[in-house]
Chain A
Amino acid sequence: MQELSRKRAVCAMPIAGSYRSIDFTLSNMANSHIQKVAVFTQYNARSLNEHLSSSKWWDFGRKQGGLFVLTPTVTAENSNWYRGTADAIYQNLAFLKSSHEPYVVISSGDGVYKMDFGRVLEYHIEKKADITVVCKDMGEDTDVERFGTVSMDEDGRIREYEEKPLRAKSSTISCGIYLLRRRQLIELIEKCAEDDRYDFVRDILIRYKDIRRIYGYKMRDYWRNIASVEDYYDANMDFLKPEVRNYFFKQHPDIYSKVDDLAPAKYNVGVSVRNSLISSGCIVNGTVENSVIFKKSYIGNNCVIKNSIILNDVYIGDNTYIENCIVESRGTLRANSRYVGEEGRIRVVVERNERYMV
């Protein structure tokens, strides 16, 4: 993710003008009536913690359940960081043990998707599976080598599972969403820890695929994750398509995010906005085309912004030209400047100029 993840964890990356990527998973959980959610954070979590400052936004402020943020802590037995996904769960096993819910959904926080986990659970029970992995067919022409790929038999049972293969044997990938019984998870995680293994995919899913019944649940709707700057750019630009907007913004259920209490966006004289998304709190004076403008940005007179993503709270001085760029949040771009990336090679702009004359 280059410079973009220097500032925040991928889960906290702003998406689609008004959201952050973790909003999708959290909203899916809330909409699936999951009441108890733990978020594991470690890398660069300040932005994420700020976003999770209240559980109200996803309706997790419950007496039964709630939103728990689990960060690595030093204890008498352990002073390690999370050494992997399985280790993160192991270090918080007491949380799992003291819960009473029969099933656990494990999901990465960087996916852009809508999902009813209730459906996955029905499938899981119907197949008498030990573990269910949510999968997606990516089509033959997609480059799937950066994902985990799976091959299933006719029944849906996963027969082959490779993590980031050099040459993929299947175009079906794992979406990084798993469902299993809580007791099963505790047992697997404890065994894993005994052998000094720390990774959920490599050390549990792949090792156990022939011993346990691991099933793939194919999701057919929109899903994508953001692992690179290009992915991130494309994921945002997807929201300029009417069918994607309709799916996420108009159809039930909604995706929720933290409320920022910003004023409505304002458009002054000499504005031209075409095929673009603009978020609340923005003040626009220039031209915007095929772009996504996040919250609270100021776009000066005679600016031209094309095919770009402007993150939160960016100040763009007059007469600035921006094309094929991602402008990092809270940046201040001086007047009369020019930032041009190439198609397919998006330029990340991080500008730290003084915004106010002192």
Chain B
Amino acid sequence: MIKKEMIAMLLAGGQGSRLGVLTAKMAKPAVAFGGKYRIIDFPLSNCINSGVDTVGVLTQYQPLRLNTHIGIGIPWDLDRNIGGVTVLPPYEKSTNSEWYTGTANAVYQNLEYMESFHPEYVLILSGDHVYKMDYELMLDAHKANGAAVTIAVMPVPMEEAHRFGIMIANEKGRITEFEEKPEFPRSNLASMGIYIFNWKTLKKALVEMADQPALDFGKHVIPYCHGKGAPMYTYEFTGYWKDVGTLDSYWQANMELIDIVPEFNLYEEYWKVFTKSEIQPPQYFSEDSVVERSIIGEGTDIYGKVYHSVIGCGVTIGRNTVIRDSIIMNRTQIGNDCELYKAIVAEEVRIGNHVRLGVGGEAPNDTAPHIYNHGIVTVGERSVIPNGISVGKNAVVFGITTGADYENFCLGSGGTLIKAGD
């Protein structure tokens, strides 16, 4: 009989719309991070490092990048005869066919998958956080408490607590009350969206709540279990955990990796982060290149100057080009004599010569100021920017652009140039 003590269900179907054009063609968990990784590498690596070798990845929004990245799970050692990683997209059923309408609904639609492993516990994860966490310790706590549900929580500053789901627990960690984004929080323990359920508790809750529209863990399943009096405990996590949900927090988290001793250390031997490495050659620095305070991925050729930046794999940076405070993702090519300031340039972008990004004064973005802000200029994947173009701050470029798309070779601060259909 097939039996796994704990299996993981990884929610990776979300768009992550606050990342703007970065998630135009891929789900948020597939977005590149830290030079060579993608965000989903962190929970997947945590799983294998914690001894969880059965992971169902629930996909829905733009899954191609994610699917090719995960493959059969070789990079994470999740290619198993029994278990391993399984990508679970929504599917047509004989009676109905619906998309995943909520986090818990997605898990509910895959009851059969979970059932086939006869698990004792199910770990619910989301694919859009950057952190290292030993789920085995969390499971130990879950067992020791005799809990039916354990929720990983993190202490946050009291003034920010109103942005989170807040847990109120007694001194033993048993949850007595919880509040979703409370105006006046009574605790600073924020839910990290990581749950361990006893399988029986989870199954019963999902089946009984099946008809709830947009069935969600935080909004419906947790209150339901609480209402039934199931023992629910918090598991306090104090390590590095980052929600890279906005362009600014994404930029910040990348830049933190550059610190001399970064809080989030990728160089540790005992808790490695695994990823699919398609590009293997070393990086080359030319005779007149300059590099300082940066991390750089494999196979990148640097002919220009790179300061305080995160550069991906297979990137080319041309002669006399200056890159500052920027994130450049895999396989992007940047020509000669360019200047990039606080730019996020997605994968496989072609930038010509004499291009300037992130120059000029501050101005709010004209279409989506809540997404494109903090002076960051964003370029979507596979975009083309021709020679001699200047792009201002808080601007966004996406698509194959030509000189005719710009006014006087210029897109001012706060400008939006999105060419759909390319």
Contact of A274 among B273, B287, B292, B296 (CB under 8 A): B287
CB distance from A53 to the nearest CB of B (A): 12
For the complex, give the distance between the alpha carbons of A16 and B36 in Å: 20
Interface residues of B (CB under 8 A from A): 34-36, 74-75, 258, 260, 266-267, 272-275, 277, 280-299, 310-311, 313
A269 contacts the other chain (CB 8 A): yes
The reply to whether B286 and A277 form a contact with Cβ atoms under 8 Å apart is no
By a CB distance below 8 angstroms, the chain B residues around A288 are 285
A17 CA to B295 CA in the complex, in Å? Answer: 17
Q: Which of B260, B289, B297, B311 contacts A273 (CB 8 A)?
A: B289
Q: Are B282 and A273 in contact (CB under 8 A)?
A: no
The reply to whether B281 and A249 contact each other, CB–CB distance below 8 Å, is yes
Counting from the closest, the 9 A-B pairs by CB-CB distance are A17-B282, A264-B35, A263-B266, A249-B281, A279-B282, A273-B285, A277-B282, A264-B295, A264-B297
Bound CA–CA A122/B275 (angstroms): 39
Q: Which of A196-217 contact B (CB under 8 A)?
A: none
Selected contact of B280 from candidates A257, A269, A277, CB within 8 Å: A257
A47 located at the interface, meaning its Cβ lies under 8 Å from any Cβ of chain B in the complex = no
- A261 pairs with B295, CB closer than 8 A: no
Q: Is the CB of B284 within 8 A of A245?
A: yes
Question: Which single residue of chain A is at the shortest CB-CB distance from B313?
Answer: A264
Structural contact, A259 and B295, CB atoms closer than 8 A: no
Is B295 within 8 A of A267, CB to CB?
yes
Q: Tell me the smallest distance from the CB of B42 to a CB of chain A, in Å.
A: 13
Question: Do A274 and B280 contact each other (CB < 8 Å), given the known contacts A264-B36, A264-B297?
Answer: no
**Can you show 22 pairs from A to B with CB atoms below 8 A apart?**
A18-B282, A240-B284, A248-B281, A249-B299, A255-B280, A261-B75, A261-B274, A264-B34, A264-B36, A264-B297, A266-B258, A266-B267, A267-B293, A267-B296, A268-B260, A268-B293, A270-B292, A272-B290, A273-B289, A275-B285, A275-B287, A293-B282
B277, B284, B299: which contacts A259 (Cβ < 8 A)? B277
Cα–Cα, bound, A155→B72 (Å)? 49
Contacts A278-B282, A281-B267 given: A271-B291 contact, CB under 8 Å?
A: yes
- Give the interface SS of chain B, mostly helix, strand, loop or mixed: loop
Residues of chain A within 8 A of B284, CB atoms compared = 240, 245, 276-277
Tell me the complex Cα distance, A269–B291, Å. 9
Query: What string of 1s and 0s marks CB contacts (under 8 Å) between A313-326 and chain B?
Result: 00000000000000
CB <8 Å contact, B297 and A280? yes
A163 CB to nearest B CB, Å: 35
Contacts known (A18-B282, A267-B291); A261 close to B277, Cβ less than 8 A: yes
> Which residues of B are found within 8 Å of A271, using beta-carbon distances?
291-292
What residue in chain A is nearest B297 (Cβ atoms)? A264
Q: Mark A149-168, 1 if CB is under 8 A from B, else 0.
A: 00000000000000000000
Residue of B nearest to A270 (CB): B292
Tell me whether A34 is interfacial, beta carbon within 8 Å. no
* A248–B267 CA distance with the chains assembled, in angstroms: 28
Q: Quick one: given A18-B298, A269-B293, A276-B285, are A261 and B272 in contact (CB under 8 Å)?
A: yes
Given A16-B281, A264-B295, answer yes or no on A259-B289 (Cβ-Cβ < 8 Å).
no
Given contacts A273-B291, A275-B286, A275-B287, 4 further A-B contacts (CB under 8 A): A255-B280, A269-B293, A277-B285, A279-B283
Q: Give per-residue flags for A289-304: 1 if the beta carbon is below 8 A from chain B beta carbons, else 0.
A: 0001110000000000
Can you name the residue of chain B whose Cβ is closest to the Cβ of A275? B287
Question: Which of A254, A265, A293 touches B295 (beta carbons < 8 Å)?
Answer: A265
Residue ID in chain A nearest B278 by CB atoms:
A254
Output the nearest chain A residue to B76 by Cβ-Cβ distance: A261
Residue of B282, B295, B313 with most partner-chain A CB within 10 A: B282
A283 is an interface residue with CB less than 8 A from chain B: yes
Q: Which residue of A lies closest to B272 (CB)?
A: A261
A252 vs chain B, min Cβ distance (A): 13
A355 at the A/B interface (Cβ < 8 Å)?
Answer: no
User: In the bound complex, what is the Cα–Cα distance between A294 and B298 (angstroms)?
Assistant: 12
Residues of A18-62 whose CB lies within 8 A of B: 18-19, 56
- B-side contacts of A259, CB under 8 Å: 75, 277, 280
In the assembly, what is the distance between CA of A278 and CA of B301, in Å? 10
* A256 contacts B by Cβ under 8 Å: yes
Chain A minimum-CB-distance residue to B258: A266
Are A264 and B296 in contact, CB atoms less than 8 angstroms apart? Answer: yes
Q: Are the CB atoms of B287 and A265 closer together than 8 Å?
A: no
A contact residues around B286 at 8 Å (CB): 274-275
Nearest opposing residue in chain A for B74, CB measure: A56
Q: Is the beta-carbon distance between B35 and A17 smaller than 8 angstroms?
A: no
CB distance from B282 to the nearest CB of A (A): 3
Name the CB-closest residue of B to A260: B277
Residues on the A chain within 8 Å of B282, using CB: 16-18, 277-280, 292-294
- Complex Cα–Cα for A278 and B302 (A): 11
**How far apart sit A267 and B75, CA to CA, in the bound complex (Å)?**
26
> In the assembled complex, which residues on chain A have CB atoms less than 8 Å from the CB atom of B75?
259, 261
Which residues in A have their C-beta under 8 angstroms from that of B288? 274
Contact B283 A269 (CB under 8 A): no
Q: For B34, B260, B275, B285, which residue has the most chain A Cβ atoms within 10 angstroms?
A: B285
Q: How far is the CA of A272 from the CA of B286 in the complex (A)?
A: 11
Q: How many whole Å from B316's CB to the nearest CB in chain A?
A: 10
Q: In whole angstroms, what is the CA distance A102 to B299 when docked?
A: 38
Which residue of chain A is the closest to B285 with respect to CB atoms?
A: A273
In the assembled complex, the Cα of A280 lies from the Cα of B35 at a distance in Å of 11
Which A residue's beta carbon lies closest to that of B316? Answer: A250
CB distance from A59 to the nearest CB of B (A): 11
Within 8 Å CB of B296, what residues of A? 264-267, 278
Assembly CA distance A249 to B258 (angstroms): 27
Interchain CB contact (< 8 A) of A278 among B36, B283, B293: B283
**Minimum CB–CB distance for A244 against chain B, Å:** 11
Chain A residues, Cβ within 8 Å of B34? 263-264
